[in-house]
Amino acid sequence: MAELNFTDSKIMEKINELSKIAEQSTIIDSSYYEKYDVKRGLRDLNGLGIVAGLTEISEIQGNKEPMEGELYYRGINIKDLVNGFTKEDRFGFEETVYLLLFGNLPNKEELDYFNQILADFRKLPLNFVRDVIMKRPSFDMMNTLAKSVLTLYSYDDNPDDISISNILRQGLQLIAQFPLLTIYGYQVFSHYHNDKSLIIHKPRKDLSTAENILLLLRQDKEYTKLEAKLLDICLVLHAEHGGGNNSTFTTHVVSSSGTDTYSSVAASLGALKGPKHGGANIKVVRMFEDMKNNLKTYSDLEIRNYLLQLLNKEAFDKSGLIYGMGHAVYSLSDPRAVIFKKFVKNLAVEKGLDREYELYEKVERLAPEVIAEKRRIYKGVSPNVDFYSGFVYTMLGLPQELYTPIFAVARIGGWIAHRIEEIANRGKIIRPGYTSVCPRQKYIPLEKR
């Protein structure tokens, strides 16, 4: 048989025809979900998640009834955690990762030692940038990150050992390496695809994760204290969000099979890459860019009219959504968004973006009103964490290609904590049931088809 050329238009035309057959062959009558009492997306009719496991790592408090949202890391309210280290004028991401991994906040000696471990692990194997990251750079940084993670398996002398000590060792290395894999991957992408200068800085052992991200990214290595502190808060707020979010549940599912740490993390990266999960804040930023291009003034009336156009599928991507508003669990407030807002204004003032911040505030106030007028609301609508995080990343000068990878830099600590939890509890392989609704049919010999 001759080799197929997939750039041939006739071949692609045939593939398109086959794709329609494949799609039609698997469309399920939506009424069957109610008939067989199947919870689509593991969520009930009220939008609440179906309990699939137990965890001690984090807790989300929301309800179908309107209530202020709460988030706890190992039983500690996220608001108290952030207030604690900000009042002491410290970076908090590293102690947050310690808390997620070990169940308690570290004392000064423990934190110093933990920071030293991360600092020592904050390096890549010899020539890894040249031999892996610089070879065939991807257009998507999440794929670059996943490729790097899977390749690190080959550099590990003991990759398949799933003892807790080995998983912790691997996890700590990945937590420390993720900023390097992310920023170096972007610098290579920017060089080869955008014709920019190739900048590879070395991290500093005496700096926090947030500070090193900004140092590695910027050509002059310069950043302000406020920039680093706000990025640190971003990392803390994204570090964990209950065992049921898509990428963390992926960690549990894949880890339950007994696979290696690198495969587990790569699978979670694949889940996080999806625009319904990790890419949401990019949609918010692009929506606001479109909004600014279409508003003559920032009056309440003009903003309200634009929001109505969004809901009516007449503006932006015509999806009918106001991105950054609403959450599957939270109703009256997303605690992460509440915390964000306290710090965002200060950075906006520093950057001279007061007017843009005022636009975000107005949309935050007007969007719930507009949504309530157009749609039936069961539990309230409020800004979620993505509403402000994209604005923060924009003010920090982070390219949009890095928004989701930075999310991964934050979330890797939570993933490792959940992987340890899954392995330590020796659970069964996660294998949910699916009800077949396909009618029986007889096999027909080839010559009679």
Q: What string of H, E and C letters represents the secondary structure of the chain?
A: CCCCCCCCHHHHHHHHHHHHHHHHCCCCCCHHHHHCCCCHHHECCCCCECCCCCCCCEEEECCCCCCECEEEECCEEHHHHHHHHHHCCCCCHHHHHHHHHHCCCCCHHHHHHHHHHHHHHCCCCCCHHHHHHCCCCCCCHHHHHHHHHHHHHHHCCCCCCCCHHHHHHHHHHHHHHHHHHHHHHHHHHHHHHHCCCCCCCCCCCCCCHHHHHHHHHCCCCCCCHHHHHHHHHHHHHHCCCCCCCHHHHHHHHHHCCCCCHHHHHHHHHHHHHCCCCCCHHHHHHHHHHHHHHHCCCCCHHHHHHHHHHHHCCCCCCCCCCCCCECCCCCCCECHHHHHHHHHHHHHHHHCCCHHHHHHHHHHHHHHHHHHHHHCCCCCCCCECHHHHHHHHHHHCCCCHHHHHHHHHHHHHHHHHHHHHHHHHCCCCCCCCCCCCCCCCCCCCCHHHC
Query: And the tokens for 190?
Result: 């920017």
Residue 301 and residue 185 share a domain: no
Q: What is the mean pLDDT of the segment spanning 239-263?
A: 94
pLDDT band per the 50, 70, 90 thresholds, residue 293: very high
Residue 39 lies in a domain: no
**pLDDT surpasses 70 at 46:** no
Torsion region of 313: left, alpha or beta (phi above 0 gives left; psi -120 to 50 gives alpha)? left
Residue 308 and residue 160 share a domain: no
Residue where a domain terminates, one of 395, 416, 444: 395
Phi–psi pair at 320, nearest 5 degrees? 85, 15
Residue 285 and residue 173 share a domain: no
Q: What angle do CA 112, 117, 118 make, to 5 degrees?
A: 100
Which of 232, 260, 334, 386 is catalytic? The answer is 386
Residue 85 and residue 210 share a domain: yes
pLDDT given at position 7: 64
Residue 222 lies in a domain: yes
Exposure pattern of 334-364 as b/e (b: 16+ CB <10 Å)? bbbbbbbbebbeebbeebebeebbebbebbb
Residue 205 lies in a domain: yes
Residue 34 lies in a domain: no
Task: Scan for tokens 């200060």, then name that residue.
Answer: 346
Report the distance separating Cα 143 and Cα 162, nearest Å. Answer: 25
The CA dihedral of 432, 271, 288, 385, to the nearest 10 degrees, is 70
How far separated are the first and last CA of the chain, in Å rounded? 23
Q: What CATH number has the domain bearing residue 186?
A: 1.10.580.10
- Mean pLDDT, the chain, integer: 91
pLDDT given at position 210: 98
Q: What angle do CA 68, 75, 98 make, to 5 degrees?
A: 125
Residue 222 and residue 318 share a domain: no
pLDDT given at position 32: 85
Residue 87 and residue 142 share a domain: yes
Report the distance separating Cα 207 and Cα 228, nearest Å. Answer: 10
Residue 359 and residue 256 share a domain: no
Residue 83 and residue 135 share a domain: yes
The structural domain count of the chain equals 2
Name, in order, each residue with C-beta under 8 angstroms of 195's C-beta and a sequence gap of 6 or more. none
Annotation says 386 is catalytic: yes
**pLDDT surpasses 70 at 104:** yes
Residue 312 and residue 412 share a domain: no
- Range among 17-31, 281-295, 324-338 with highest mean pLDDT value: 281-295
pLDDT given at position 45: 64
pLDDT given at position 415: 97
Which of 238, 252, 327, 418 is catalytic? The answer is 327
Q: What is the mean pLDDT of the segment spanning 131-157?
A: 95
Q: What CATH number has the domain bearing residue 366?
A: 1.10.230.10
Residue 126 lies in a domain: yes
Residue 242 and residue 149 share a domain: yes
Residue 322 lies in a domain: yes
Residue 327 lies in a domain: yes
Q: Is the distance from CB of 385 to CB of 328 less than 8 angstroms? A: no
**pLDDT surpasses 80 at 232:** yes
Residue where a domain terminates, one of 375, 395, 415: 395
Q: What is the mean pLDDT of the segment spanning 301-312?
A: 95
Residue 250 and residue 102 share a domain: yes
Report which residue type is found at 54.
Answer: L
Residue from 312, 239, 324, 320 nearest 284 by CA: 324
Report the distance separating Cα 303 and Cα 279, nearest Å. Answer: 24
Residue 30 lies in a domain: no
> Domain residues for 347?
280-395
Residue 402 and residue 341 share a domain: no
pLDDT given at position 446: 94
